[in-house]
Amino acid sequence: MESESSADQAKAAVEKAPRDKVASKTAIVTGASAGIGLSVGRKLAEAGANVVLVARGREKLDAAARSIGLERAMPFVADVSHFDSLRELLRATRERFGRIDILVNNAGLNHRGAAVGISPDTLAAIITTNLTAPIFLSRLVAEHMVQLVQQGTGSIVNVASLAGKIPVKHEAAYSASKAGLRAFGRALAMELDPLGVRVSTVCPGPVDTEFLGDLEHVPDIVLSQPMVTPDDVADAVLACIQSGKREVSLPALSGLLMTLGYVFPSLAAALHPLLERRGAANRRRYAASRAAGRAV
């Protein structure tokens, strides 16, 4: 019920907000060939925006663009950790659509396990993809957006995680990257808001996508929170674009719980065993639901 309530609130915010925050605008969405990014791209296009979909795999990306409609969606194959590709992304976007009004930093990377069991290069790649690349791309795009303030407000939305509110065991680099992304977004918002560019952060818990991976390898503490859908997160992203809200957590109650756990570490330690038991129970339920879905 918690996730449904948060999702309903985000959807209502999208429906009530004026379309001119999105209609006829141009948006760049990274990690857009599937999951959250594809859902964000579709919803932006449905609201009247042009969308540039960015991902590494051409086949899935082209299919995603075709599913939206090539008159509005442009696929751009790039690895966000390759910064020269990001410069080319801006050039190609402006060449096709003339402007950039919205940036959604959604591309992500995670490798679960004890940090000492993961190579240093892999840990560094998580930070580069999840934090350095959004910082680099936001800097490039913000300069362009500031030049357009007289024509409308620009918007940057970073997709972080509840793991950025309180660190998760066996996801050390991922937690660090998302905590850094939250901090970057909050600071950048204070700098850019007076210049007409709003910066928001969306922090979902577990999302039912391929990115979540094999449930057997997901920490119990992660699954202790209600699962949300890509559409739930996309609705929250659009609500941020339209309202300018600085941060949204999904589910909202989980975000409050994570904040309390961070502020009061003793409370987090006391609740941890309970949450792990809840996560283990949820894992069994989610696994049974997935198995039933495959059997249909």
Could you give the residue numbers annotated as active site? 174
Distance CA 186, CA 164 (A): 13
- Concatenate the DSSP letters of all residues of 27-88 into one string: EEEES-SSHHHHHHHHHHHHTT-EEEEEES-HHHHHHHHHHH-TTTEEEEE--TT-HHHHHH
Give the dihedral of Cα atoms 137, 138, 141, 143; nearest 10 deg: -120
Q: Which residue has the tokens 């790649």?
A: 125
Q: Is the peptide bond before 251 cis (omega within 30 degrees of 0)?
A: yes
What is residue 169's three-state secondary structure?
coil
Distance CA 280, CA 284 (A): 7
CA distances from 137 to 34, 67, 103, 106, 119 (A): 20, 26, 9, 12, 26
